[in-house]
Amino acid sequence: MADRFDKHQEPMEMKRRCPRLGHDILFEYCLESGEDDFPCWKIFDCWWEIFDVEAYLKARLPEGEYRKLAQKKPKPKVASILEIVEAAKKRTGKGSE
């Protein structure tokens, strides 16, 4: 896997398989795919083997945002599924009855 990446390549142009989506995505997508256009909470887990993502983000995010991202924990899977179901109900007009 590591041979797919050029260590001198700009991180925004790097691609890897996203464990959440199941296909290749650009690093740039990870920077905006979290809640409220915030970086994805898995960004550290996914990119640490490719380049120093911690230093990259630390240098580019305000300190408070970096700390918030570094401390972010995923929601339990069941809670995430229930939120998705509720959002779908609202979109289709079939809210809780």
**Tens-digit pLDDT profile for residues 51-81:** 999 999 999 999 999 999 998 877 777 877 8
- Residue of 92, 36, 6 whose CA lies nearest to 27: 6
List residues bridging with 16 in a β-sheet.
25
- What pLDDT does 57 receive? 93
Q: What pLDDT digit, counting tens, does each position of 28-59 carry?
A: 999 988 877 789 989 999 999 989 999 999 99
**Sign of the Cα pseudo-torsion (11, 17, 18, 23, in order):** positive
Enter the tokens of residue 29. 């997508």
Q: What is the DSSP letter of 37?
A: G
Write b or e for each residue in 33-43: b if 16 or more Cβ atoms lie within 10 A of its Cβ, otherwise e.
Answer: beeeebbbbbb
Q: What is the pLDDT of residue 7?
A: 43
Q: Is the pLDDT of residue 83 over 60?
A: yes
Q: What is the pLDDT of residue 5?
A: 39
